[in-house]
Structure 1
Amino acid sequence: MPTSIIIPIVIIALILFSSFFMVKQQTAAIIERFGKFHSIKQSGLKLKIPFVDKIAGKLSLKIQQLDVIIETKTLDDVFVKLKVSVQYKVITEKVYDAFYKLDYPHDQITSYVFDVVRAEVPKMKLDDVFVKKNDIAIAVKTELNDAMLDYGFDIIRTLVTDIDPDAQVKIAMNRINAADREKTAAQYEGDAQRILIVEKAKAEAESKRLQGQGIADQRREIARGLEESVDVLNRVGINSQEASALIVVTQHYDTLQSIGSETNSNLILLPNSPQAGSQMLNDMVASFTASNQIGEAMKNAKPKKLDK
């Protein structure tokens, strides 16, 4: 094929090839004709006039995110770094404004975020910054929406994703939290110890009460048994004094036998003569008689004092 034919074919092919272009999904292409804005092309296969029209640029219509880190000071003079994430997108109907009115949207958004955060955070104490981070995010979003809407940008959401105080401040905060937790733990331990002491005292009191009741019941049964024993002996002709002597002697020897059967008991010295029981009974009777005489004397002495 002659060269004179090949060259025109190649030129025509290049012209046709340059006449078509592809625009991706969620993208807008800005077409200029002789350096002047002509049209906006959406996604798909598009046609332009070669050497007359050109693609001045493309804008993504997807939601984008910009992370801005700001260092500022709180009301209680604590330096803190905040990370603010701004989610934004180009408004489809305002692609022209977004492309021609603003060269660097990231820088513009960053400037507004700095301005709002450094105006809001110095009004708050450090603890309030953590509590009211949503208020800070809302203030940033409101300011950005008012400012960026004219440039064709829509602010979808703003989030305060990180709050990082100065290292020394974080160490102090951790110490305060640790001290508070130790204080709470000590209070719980003290309450637990008090409850244990109270419950132990209640248990001991109940034990003493039951022990005393048991001793009283035991003595009551012993007295009832002695009374029955004396009645039985009286029926067979043994008077009360002889019956009491017999009972005392019997209990005396039973006690000796009980002590002797205990291998681990300490040494106890007791009188063991045949007259021991009788002597014990005589001592008991003598003490009862003496106490009765003293009681009678005190009764007789009271009226005489009154006469005086």
Structure 2
Amino acid sequence: MCYNGLFVKYQTAIVAQYLKLKQTREENMYGDRYDEGISWITILIFSGAGLAILAWLSTSIVIVRQKTAKVIEVFGKFSSVKNAGLNLKLPFPIASVADEVSLQIRELKEDIVVKAADNAFLKVPVKVQFRVIQDKVEQAYYELADPESQIKSYIVNTVRSKANTMDMDQIFKSKNEFEGEVETSLKKTFEGYGYEIVNVLVDDPQPSDELRKAFDKVLAAQREKDAAQNLADAKRIKMVGEANAEAESLTIKGKAFKTFRADIADGNSEAIKSFLKDIEGLEARDVLNFFAGVDTRDAIRDASANPGTLIVVPANYAGDDGRSIALVKALMAETKN
């Protein structure tokens, strides 16, 4: 019994020692793990904080592209303008980039309908080239809410006020005046707002559709008028030519007829003298009647040569003329005998 009691006590002591040792080991093992967990959490926290700080500091870097500028604000108030290249600012949210402003030349086109002094409606195309002045980015960004619309308004007002004092022909001839007027007005107004007016171009005015149709009608009528005038001139030239030719022809005929009559008169005079000289008892009146009947007889002869021709002769045709002819013939016969 004693031996068994001792053995039980010894066994109990061993088990107790074993349990104590086991507990000690377990406690040591869990402590190491706990310390190891704490160290990793610390590393992660500091790493995240470092990355966050780096990310926050990176917001201080401002990279600006060529021909642009960036407006920097600190708590909503203008601070500075950063130009092309690498720049630094206070980190966000202390300082922030409000906007990027282009420094390139921009072109604004506008077709302006104007009314001339002679009530003609024309369309005047205007182009304005402008850009932000690099030293006045602050004024250009903050002063004008919509610069393009405001520039258009000034262009329209300037061109219309100038065109109202001119007629249509003057507007077509005054492109340079419009360019100078618009450029002067825009420069005077917008350079103070940070905008440079580089150039102003005014193209040829274009008439309205109604005016173009009216021009087409006028041109068509003018062409018809020119065609009619050309036709009349051609006809007049032809008629004048024909008249001149006829006048020359009549002049030549008159001269020939005059010569012919002179020759006939000379011949008749010689014939009458010959009759009066060679035939005694014959008077000049009888000879003249004889010659006058020659033309009448020739005309009757020529007319009767055509068949179906009706010839009407005076009732007294055989009167004095007939007696004169008979007398001349009789005296001529006696002379021959």
Listed as ranges, the matches of 1:132-143 within 5 Å are 132-143=174-185
Gap runs ≥5 in structure 1: 209-287, 302-308
| 1:87–1:158 CA contact under 8 A, matched in 2 | yes
SS at match of 1:123: coil
Is the 2:61–2:87 contact (alpha carbons within 8 Å) kept by the matching residues of 1? yes
Match status 1:24 vs 2:65? yes
Q: How does 1:137-286 map to 2 (within 5 A)?
A: 137-161=179-203, 163-188=205-230
Instruction: Tell me the equivalent position of 1:9.
Output: 50
Provide, for residues 181-205 of structure 1, a one-character-per-residue CA deviation record: whole Å limited to 9, x for no partner.
Answer: 3434454555566677888999999
Aligned residue type for 2:52 = I
CA offsets per residue over residues 96-119 of structure 1, 9 Å max, x none?
A: 221222222112212211221221
CA distance in 1, matches of 2:52, 2:71: 26
From 107, 118, 121, the equivalent of 1:76 is 118
> Does the 8 Å CA contact 1:81/1:165 hold for their aligned counterparts?
yes
Amino acid in the other structure paired with 1:107:
S
Q: Does 1:99 pair with 2:161?
A: no
1:88 alignment counterpart: 130
- 1:103-160 CA distance string (max 9 Å, x none): 2211221221122122111112223222223322321111111111111111122223
Provide the rounded CA distance (Å) in 1 between the counterparts of 2:47 and 2:70. Answer: 34
- Tell me which of 19, 30, 35 is aligned to 2:76: 35
Shift in CA distance, 40/78, structure 1 to aligned 2, threshold 3 Å? same
For 2:114 and 2:91, the matched residues in 1 are separated by 53
Structure 2 CA distance for partners of 1:294 and 1:98, relative to 1, 3 Å: same
Cα distance in 2 between the residues matched to 1:290 and 1:78: 84
- 1:267 matched residue in structure 2: none
* Cα distance change on mapping 1:153 and 1:293 into 2, 3 Å: same
1:44 is aligned, of 85, 88, 105, to 85
CA contact (8 A) 2:172 2:204 kept: no
Report Cα offsets for 1:241-272 as digits up to 9, x if no partner. Answer: xxxxxxxxxxxxxxxxxxxxxxxxxxxxxxxx
- 1:81–1:163 Cα contact (<8 Å) kept: yes
Deviation at 1:161, TM superposition (A): 3.3
Cα distance in 2 for residues equivalent to 1:295 and 1:158 = 106
1:201–1:26 CA distance, 2 compared to 1 (3 A): farther
- Mapped partners of 1:291, 1:78: distance in 2: 85
CA-based RMSD: 3.6
Look up the equivalent residue of 2:174 and give its one-letter code. Answer: K
2:100 to 58, 63, 76: 58
Aligned to 2:329: none
Relative to 1, partners in 2 of residues 1:205 and 1:49: Cα closer, same or farther, differing over 3 Å? same
Question: 1:178-232: per-residue Cα shift (whole Å, max 9, x none)?
Answer: 32334344545555666778889999999x9xxxxxxxxxxxxxxxxxxxxxxxx
User: What TM-score results when the alignment is normalised by the length of structure 1?
Assistant: 0.59
1:122 equivalenced with 2:122 (yes/no): no
Match of 1:263 in 2: none
Amino acid of the structure 1 residue aligned with 2:154 = Y
Distance in 2 of aligned mates of 1:173 and 1:31: 58
CA distance in 2, matches of 1:204, 1:26: 87
Paired residues of 1:84 and 1:162 also in contact (CA < 8 A): no
Deviation at 1:19, TM superposition (A): 2.3
Amino acid at match of 2:164: P
Gaps of 5+ in 2: 1-39, 250-265, 277-283, 285-337
Q: How many Å separate the matches in 2 of 1:294 and 1:18? A: 144
